[in-house]
Amino acid sequence: MVKRLSENLLIAANIFILFLLVFYQHLHVPAWLQVIGRMHPLLLHFPIVLLILALILDLLTIRSEQLSASLRPLISHLWLAGALTAAITVIMGLFLSREEGYTGDMLAWHKWSGIAVVWLSSLLYWYRYVRRSVMVTGSALTLISLAVAGHFGANLTHGSDFLLAPVTPQYAKVTVPIEQAVIFEHLVKPILEQKCMSCHNSTKAKGELLMQTTAQIMKGGKSGPLFIAGNPMASLMIERLHLPMEDKKHMPPTGKTQLSLQEIEVLQHWIRLGGDFKKTVASLKKEDSLYVLAAQLLKPAVTEDAFDFAAASEESIKKLNNNYRVVFPLSRNSPALVVNFYSKEQYSPKALEELLPLKTQIVELHMQKMPVKDEELSIIKQFSNLRKINLDFSAITGSTLQELTGLKHLRSLALSGTGISLQHLQKLKASKSLEEVYCWNTPLTEKDWQQLATIKNIRFEKGYDNHGQEPLKLNAPIVNNDNTIFQSKQTLAITHPIKGVEIRYTLDGSEVDSLNSPVYKDSIIVDSSFTVKAKAFKVGWYGSDALVARFLKTTYKPDSAVLLKPANENYLAEGPKTFWDLQTGNFDIRSGKWVGFRVGEMELLMMFNQPVNVHAITLNTMRNVGAYIFPPTKVEIWGGTDPAKMQLLKKIQPVMPGKDDPNIMQGITCEFPAKDITCIKIVAAPLQKLPSWHNGKGKPAWIFIDEILVN
């Protein structure tokens, strides 16, 4: 009874497949049938296994009548089940292929080879024992059809390069010289080819988006333009990359190889620069972020020197470190050492002589802005393995510069801002290893520079001189602080690479005024959270854009902490200790700096061994409306001396953003009367339903927290 019903279903399925093929171009698949169509990848493995098993058993029984008699009922059931499930799989596949994005030769090969499997297996079920040649030929054709269908199906799903991708050279290994590189062709396009084109090509145009030509990329897809030139964070491409992994609009989809942080940076910087398809890397300033990335990706890897000397003891290194001199390894596990001097008031020749016990291991000596005099070069020359010396803006005049020509490994020498002369620099010709000398802002004349150009084995860097041409715009000042979160006081260090620049600043986030804002001197000591804005000004130049940086103070760090409700498993970072690692994240939620919550509230319990006097708690959060990341709808701070008897200290309801609000890092602060407490509980609730104007309306929002400040 079951067998007869299955045979009738197989006949009906074959007829239905013929019907679908006849009316294929006019076929409209309703939503409920799309669900059935999308089950195609789930079912297709069953007929493959059943048919191959039936085929193997059939071939084994060719020469054994006894074995054939005993296995024939089982083999018959396998052929029938394989043919029927293959027919159902093909019907599902035909439904799926009518969705947008499936076109081209690859789909045609997959479709017809799959149909061939159904027709061949159906015929073999009824007629394989008519003649041995029918069984052998039909089985061979079935195997070939299965292989072809599987191959093109895999290409449709994973991309045509999926199989060989692990052994295919990656774009980071492109050997084109950086001077000849085109940003799109050599940096952007390889990323799109590896991570995007498997779903956005002529055979599978998901979202009606094709990415094989520049015209297709400019055109965009069903959802609009792929990017907005000059505005990466408002661009659809970048927005989709930053969506949560489980969001159906996240790109690449779950299961596909995701873009690395470096690849995302390349795309963002390309869009920031206008999304130009012909712009070259050489046209960028060397300090531009994309140029720096290109230098990493395009040039061959630099092999670190093979140092043939033994490492110094940790004890001797530690003994030489103090508040004006730092000694540290060049790289992890390297015996080579780097020395930095900081305080010119505390510098003396003795401070240099104290390093002589490590003269073999020190390869870099950074003494810029130190009062180093010519006679001290006789000490420096004793550091036989020096590769780099920085004497910028020191008291060097050059009278003893020949002392350094005996250093066999010296490659880089910085003498900018000193009283060096042509006569002194010419003595460096005797060096067999020196490659570059930085000597801008020195008394050298144009004729002197012409003379230096005749020294072919050394490059003398003179810096920029506009010679009275149209003024250029200054680049923004640079913050030299490694961390933007501090516990007691913060010494704000701001610099600018151009000598004579005046830096004006504000610490309250207000705009910088070129006349009334205070002038930055050496450093600023601040003991509370602040937002610094700074601009650079110089006569003959246009003022720079503003540097903007947030610095956050946290007074107390808990002795222990636990999340009473778990964070989302995809965004755990380092757990509770992420909130006190003194490091803030960027807009990439996958950077490992963010802890994310979506379903249920965040509840964090902090414990202190001794009472602390607390008056404010700040949650450093992210807001990215397009990526479903909103502020918490409420924040509650509970505190006391007993976790079971804590009191509500503060409850706030942050303002929810609007549709066009920009992406920002946002500190949410709860202030309350100061109280001595040993335990604090923080509750933060995500928005449960996104507003009606949002693309994800009705879905829950995310909250992301990277640092919690306790003051």
Do both 206 and 73 map to the same domain? Answer: no
CA angle (284 as vertex; 282, 290 as ends), nearest 5? 105
CB 605 within 8 A of CB 562: yes
Looking at residue 656, its pLDDT comes to 93
Specify the range with the lowest mean pLDDT, choosing from 70-79, 94-103, 576-585. Answer: 94-103
- My answer on whether 696 and 569 are in the same domain is yes
Does residue 320 sit in the same domain as residue 287? Answer: no
Question: By residue range, what is the domain housing residue 588?
Answer: 560-710
> Any idea what the Cα angle at residue 304 is, between residues 298 and 309, rounded to 5°?
175
**163 in a domain, yes or no?**
no
Secondary structure of 164-195 as H, E, C letters: CHHHCCCHHHCCCCCCCCEHHHHHHHHHHHHH
pLDDT of residue 56 exceeding 90, the answer is: no
pLDDT for the residue numbered 154: 73
Average pLDDT over residues 447-453: 90
Does 304 fall in a domain? Answer: no
Residue 120's pLDDT band (cuts 50, 70, 90) = confident
| Rounded average pLDDT over 568-596 | 84
Kindly report the length of the chain: 711
Q: Is the pLDDT of residue 2 over 90?
A: no
Same domain, 193 and 245: yes
Burial 164-180 (b: 16+ CB within 10 A, else e): eeeeeeebeebeeebee
Comparing CA positions, the residue from 492, 465, 473, 481 lying closest to residue 536 is: 473
Q: Name every residue whose Cβ is closer than 8 Å to that of residue 168 and which is 6 or more positions away in sequence.
A: 161
Is position 307 within any domain?
Answer: no
- At 68, which amino acid appears? S
Confidence of residue 334 (pLDDT cuts 50, 70, 90): confident
Backbone dihedral angles phi then psi of residue 339, each to the nearest 5 degrees: -125, 130
270 and 355 together in one domain: no
Q: Of 461, 490, 512, which residue constitutes the final position of a domain? A: 461
- The single residue listed with the structure tokens 């319990």 is 605
- Name the pLDDT band for 682 (thresholds 50, 70, 90): very high
Which helix (DSSP H) or strand (DSSP E) does residue 390 occupy? Answer: strand 388-390
Share of the chain above pLDDT 90, in %: 28
> Helix 45-60 crosses helix 105-127 at what angle (to 10 degrees)?
40
Q: What CATH number did the domain enclosing 429 receive?
A: 3.80.10.10
* Number of domains composing the chain: 5
The average confidence (pLDDT) of the chain is 84
Q: What angle do CA 179, 183, 185 make, to 5 degrees?
A: 105
Burial class for 563, CB neighbours closer than 10 Å (0-12, 13-18, 19+): middle
Rounded Cα gap, residues 408 and 385, in angstroms: 7
* Residue 470 counted as domain residue: no
Q: What is the pLDDT of residue 107?
A: 74
Distances from the Cα of 686 to the Cα of 418, 470, 592, 701, angstroms: 58, 53, 20, 6
Distance CA 500, CA 541 (A): 11
| Paired residues of 621 in beta bridges | 666, 705
d(CA 281, CA 667): 37
Distance of alpha carbon 281 from alpha carbon 298, whole angstroms: 10
pLDDT recorded at residue 170: 45
Give yes or no for residue 514 having a pLDDT over 80: yes
287 with 368, same domain? no
Residues 625 and 664 in one domain: yes
Q: Given 412, 431, 461, which residue is the final one in a domain?
A: 461
Residue with tokens 């990493």: 296
Q: What are phi and psi of 528, to 5 degrees?
A: -145, 165
The CA–CA distances, whole Å, from 609 to 31, 228, 582, 612, 677 equal 59, 52, 21, 9, 10
- Strands 602-623 and 560-563, sheet pairing: antiparallel
CATH number, domain of 701, equals 2.60.120.260
- State the pLDDT at residue 161: 55
Residue type for position 706: D
pLDDT number for residue 467 = 47
What's the CA gap between 408 and 307, in Å, rounded? 13
Grade residue 551 by pLDDT with cuts at 50, 70 and 90: confident
- Per DSSP, helices labelled H in 29-164 are 31-37, 40-43, 45-60, 65-97, 105-127, 132-158
User: pTM to 2 decimals?
Assistant: 0.45
Cα→Cα distances 4→10, 15, 31, 70, 639, Å: 10, 17, 32, 21, 74
Report yes or no on 414 lying in a domain.
yes
pLDDT in the model for residue 216: 86
Q: To the nearest whole percent, how much of the chain has pLDDT over 70? A: 91
Query: Given this model, what pLDDT does residue 162 score?
Result: 54
Residue 467 lies in a domain: no
Reference 61, options 81, 80, 45, 79; nearest CA is 79
Q: What is the DSSP-derived secondary structure letter of residue 412?
A: E
Higher pLDDT pick, 132 / 491: 491
Q: Are 510 and 533 in contact (CB under 8 A)?
A: yes
Same domain, 37 and 132: yes
The CATH number covering residue 501 comes to 2.60.40
Are 241 and 108 contained in the same domain? no
Domain identity same for 517 and 455: no
pLDDT tens per residue across span 251-261:
887 667 788 87
**Per-residue pLDDT at 215 exceeds 80:** yes
**In-domain check, residue 164:** no
442-461 average pLDDT score: 89
Bridge partners (DSSP) of residue 341 are: 325
Residue 185, amino acid: E
Q: Averaged over 637-641, what is the pLDDT?
A: 94
Q: What pLDDT is recorded for position 333?
A: 78
- Mean pLDDT over 614-640 rounds to 92
Phi-psi group of 275: left, alpha or beta (phi > 0 → left; psi -120 to 50 → alpha; rest → beta)? left
Residues 322 and 285 in one domain: no
Tell me: do 330 and 409 sit in the same domain: yes
Lowest mean pLDDT among 141-150, 207-216, 413-422: 207-216
Distance CA 12, CA 78 (A): 19
Mind listing the pLDDT tens digit for each residue in 282-331? 888 877 778 878 877 775 444 456 788 999 998 889 889 887 888 988 87
What number of other Cβ atoms are within 10 A of residue 303's Cβ? 6
Please tell me the distance from the alpha carbon of residue 12 to that of residue 535, in angstroms, as a whole number.
77
113 three-state secondary structure:
helix
Banded model confidence at residue 164, pLDDT cuts 50, 70, 90 = low
The end-to-end CA distance of the chain, in Å, is 78
In a domain, 597, yes or no: yes
Residues 115, 105: contact at Cβ < 8 Å? no
Last residue within a domain, chosen from 533, 553, 573: 553
